[in-house]
Chains A and B, each alone.
Chain A
Amino acid sequence: MSSLSATLTRITRRRVWPRTLLQIFFFAFIALVSINHTLAESGGGIPFLSSASLHALCPFGGVVSIYQYATTGTFVQKIHDSSFILMILVTLLAVLFGPVFCGWVCPLGSAQEWVGKLGKKLFKRRYNHFVPLKLDRVLRYARYLMLAWVLYMTAVTGKLIFADIDPYHALFNLWSSEIAIGGVIVLAVTLVGALFVERPWCKYACPYGALLGLTNLFRVFKIRRKEEACKNCSLCSRSCPMNLPVNTAKVIRDPQCISCLECTTEGVCPAPGALEFSAGGK
């Protein structure tokens, strides 16, 4: 028992706290800007804070606008230059570090993680293992279908189709008239699902995560496991929010990895140098 307690203490001490700070920061920032947008629409607003719409600050808006921009030179309705710029910046980050946007920035991902903490308390080790493995494997392809559907429909209609079911947009518009019923339903399902499965939206439905995840195949910095240093304790796999088999891989190239670094020596790995986020080498 005492060794288990010591291990737990060590894990807590090594948690990737800068990520948590960043998640809180971006969540609060987007919430404030969104509230300010609502206030500004009614003639008020907080000085020195952006009152941009949520669409203007969503990099995925840039992605869905690519087709229209290439064919007509205009953006999809409600999308602006800022969405395009954010898309480029997030792509740059993804090429360098993988989908850090998902693991460190996206407020919807953070919200799911925080709800998941309650799920962990409720279900202990069963948490994040409710979905049968075979079903889980099939469901993980659904987000690519979602990506294809959103891109196709936006290209055909020229409208921001995804906004009607976007849980991220719903999360930060609960107080505004811009809220979409479809988005609220998807958000509710996502947050309830997060009590049982970690980041269910990210795993099974997020179209932007599907796209960013592809950069794991060629990102500059990768999570690498040194077999000679590994103690085969499997803590890395058990701590992975995306249920990836980290303990059997040499380099994590799975498109589902969100570069959260929870599995690394900075996170749960008790073996110094066994799991690191690094560039260079194979």
Chain B
Amino acid sequence: MRLTAKPLALLILAVIFGGVMVTSAFNWWTTESTKVPAKFSEGEAAGQYDPADIRGSYTFGDVEKNFGVPAAQLAAAFALPAGTDPASFKVNQLESIYEDLEVEIGTASVRLFTAFYTGLPYDLTAEEESYLPLQAVEILTALGTLTPERLAYLAAHTIDLDAAPPAETALPAAEATPAPQVSGTPQADHTPEAEDGTVRGKTTFQELLDWGVPQERIEAVLGGPMPAPGVVIKDYVTAQGQEYATVRDALQAEVDAVLKK
């Protein structure tokens, strides 16, 4: 059987658009995340959703639906500004609210909170350290279900937002209140000298270069060429679809290595 260009063109259109229409009719065609996390495949929690798979695109409402943590409770834990709808608030929006903090409050923090709230397993030895606001820690400790190991972790990973309420953290630096206190962080980290070598949400690639980190090392961490030096690292990494916290920690290690010399 011979096939010419015209029928072939029609067949291609029919298969692609016909396929899309048929799958749409069965509600299989979705172009957005279904917001269903992965499940634990083994251990006591086998079959339950894994908090470590919470994505930045999830809303607090999605977290409530999958893990049973009330969205209002999440809003209180992360001190969302008044008037915010907790159910439609996206997890990754936390990073922009708290971008000026010394430590990151973001997706990883929601994963940690959810795991501790529900008692589900969570890897505390991962490279990516997760911090929680004091409000979140108070909610968790009030539950009375935390293990000594988890309580010890929280003791070293709590940030007191009272010194810089979330609504003000987004204000220009001149208007911002003093930096909040972080528990469990060595005092030396708070000295102005040490802060010069700390990778934060506003740190640019130029600052890394100024601290003496070779461009090749930065590119090795990025896995590709470095953009213009004036670009904010967090903006660039986020735009690349990479996990900011992972890249930040790797870059911090490079800075630390240079400063030790």
Residues of A at the B interface (CB closer than 8 Å) are 16-19, 21-22, 50, 52-53, 56-57, 72-74, 77-78, 80-82, 85-86, 88-90, 92-93, 96-97, 100, 104-105, 159-160, 163-165, 177-182, 185, 221, 261, 266, 276-280
Contact B31 A261 (CB under 8 A): no
**Which residues of B are found within 8 Å of A165, using beta-carbon distances?**
224
**Which residues of B are found within 8 Å of A182, using beta-carbon distances?**
224-225
Given that A73-B38, A85-B20, A178-B239 are known contacts, is A104 also in contact with B9, CB under 8 Å in the complex?
A: yes
Given that A163-B241, A165-B224, A182-B225 are known contacts, is A22 also in contact with B4, CB under 8 Å in the complex?
A: no
A182 to B239, CA, bound (A): 12
Report, as a range, how many residues of chain B touch the other chain.
35 or more
A271 to B20, CA, bound (A): 39
**Which residues of B are found within 8 Å of A276, using beta-carbon distances?**
2
Given that A77-B241, A82-B30, A160-B241 are known contacts, is A185 also in contact with B225, CB under 8 Å in the complex?
A: yes
Contact A72 B38 (CB under 8 A): yes
Q: Which one, A18, A57, A73, A178, contacts B6 given CB within 8 A?
A: A18
Contact A85 B38 (CB under 8 A): no
Given that A178-B239, A279-B1 are known contacts, is A74 also in contact with B9, CB under 8 Å in the complex?
A: no
Which secondary structure dominates chain B's binding surface?
Answer: loop
What are some 29 contacts across the A-B interface (CB < 8 A)? A17-B5, A18-B8, A56-B31, A57-B31, A72-B41, A74-B53, A80-B33, A81-B29, A81-B34, A82-B29, A82-B30, A85-B20, A85-B29, A92-B15, A93-B12, A100-B8, A104-B8, A104-B12, A163-B241, A180-B224, A266-B5, A276-B2, A277-B4, A278-B1, A278-B2, A278-B3, A279-B1, A279-B3, A280-B1
Contact B16 A89 (CB under 8 A): yes
**Which residues of A are found within 8 Å of B37, using beta-carbon distances?**
74
Contact A89 B15 (CB under 8 A): yes
Given that A56-B32, A57-B31, A74-B37 are known contacts, is A89 also in contact with B19, CB under 8 Å in the complex?
A: yes
B227 contacts chain A at the CB level, 8 A cutoff: yes
Additional A-B contact list (5), CB under 8 Å, known A93-B16, A266-B5, A278-B3: A18-B9, A73-B39, A89-B16, A159-B242, A266-B4
Contact A277 B2 (CB under 8 A): yes
A222 to B6, CA, bound (A): 16
**Which residues of A are found within 8 Å of B15, using beta-carbon distances?**
89, 92-93
B185 contacts chain A at the CB level, 8 A cutoff: no
**Which residues of B are found within 8 Å of A100, using beta-carbon distances?**
8, 12
Top 4 nearest A-B pairs (CB, nearest first) are A52-B31, A56-B31, A18-B9, A89-B19
Contact A181 B20 (CB under 8 A): no
Given that A93-B12, A105-B16 are known contacts, is A80 also in contact with B3, CB under 8 Å in the complex?
A: no
B125 contacts chain A at the CB level, 8 A cutoff: no
Q: Which A residue's beta carbon lies closest to that of B55?
A: A77
B84 contacts chain A at the CB level, 8 A cutoff: no
**Which residues of B are found within 8 Å of A93, using beta-carbon distances?**
11-12, 15-16
Max chain A Cβ within 10 angstroms of own Cβ: one of B8, B20, B33, B53: B8
Q: Which one, B5, B32, B38, B243, contacts A261 given CB within 8 A?
A: B5
**Which residues of A are found within 8 Å of B29, using beta-carbon distances?**
81-82, 85
